[in-house]
Structure 1
Amino acid sequence: MIYLIELWESVRDFIATGGNVLYVVALALFLVWVLMIERYWYLASVFPKVRDEIISNWDARSDTTSWYAHRIRDTWISQASDGLSARMLLIKTLVAMCPLIGLLGTVTGMIGVFETMATQGTSNPRLMAGGISMATIPTMAGMVAALSGVFFSSRLEAKVKIARAKLIDSLPHH
């Protein structure tokens, strides 16, 4: 329990050092991970059932060679692809936004530095250093958030492509 309290205090200190924009970065990162976990869960537990149902429906058809059968096959593949690709664009968009949110924190931090310089003058380097530090931390946090999201979303996208290709391969058309 003490470890959790110390962890929370270190997170709180980090956010205090970097400014309120870090809450937005944390929210974006949380959404990315919730959506990616949902997609991994879909690939692992829901999609195999959908795939097996499509394959059994295709195998149960007596006609697999006509133009109509091919359109039905294409429709089933398209529906399964839609299920596989759901929320992938949102994940990629949120990942791309993380560094931009960090840059927003940098801009707001630099505005704070300039306000301090305007009111206190440039004679206090400690105030300026604190403001510049506060300005750079959100950029770093946004980049770290984006890096973790880019790696796992790329792997997720590859798994989606492989699952779609395997589905197409398992529905032979003559």
Structure 2
Amino acid sequence: MLMTLAIALVISGPQDPAASGTPPSAQPRTAYSPPPIRPFEPSSTFGREAAQGAEGAEVWRRPIVAPVVVDAYVGHYEATPTDIELAYDQGVASAEIRMDQRMGPLDGRWRVTGDDGRVVYDLILADAADDTDPVEGGWRSASGDTGVAAAVDAATIVLDGQGTLRLTPGPTGFTALLSQGGRERTVSLARP
């Protein structure tokens, strides 16, 4: 299901040079710029540094020489993580939090449901918090059709070939007026 929706995130015209009709040789070239927030990349000495006060200590874990039944663990299913494992997990979590802080309120997956509770659309949207890029993404209908979704303004999302959603913020998501073929109905947007 998610794979079909991810495939629906086709490259829009402004992103796809071939869709613009401009030959590749006439298109402007831009220099590479690294992402504003890099994924966690440990330093070259990561894992070779000993924690303060543990310079000479050896990490001891009894070798497993035969199958072990779950009852033998008595609530301790894994050895305590080492300082290195904890530091790595903290670095990954920190990078994820920093990236999440860059996302706007519409970023991520959304499920559009009608008043009867039936799923009308699944949406996946990319929304930058700094408003430098327009909100865009893809939609998939309950029947399996897919297409591109893009925001016209902060409160209106156009579902290419399907209609528009006019959003109103709510306590757990958004309520919206879905306009299709001259008809309007109220729907809800919530995280799945």
Regarding TM over 0.5, the answer is no
Higher-RCO chain (CA-CA 8 Å, sequence separation at least 6): 1
**How would you bin the TM-score normalised by the shorter chain?**
under 0.3
TM-score of the pair, normalised by structure 1: 0.26
Q: Which is strand-richer, 1 or 2?
A: 2
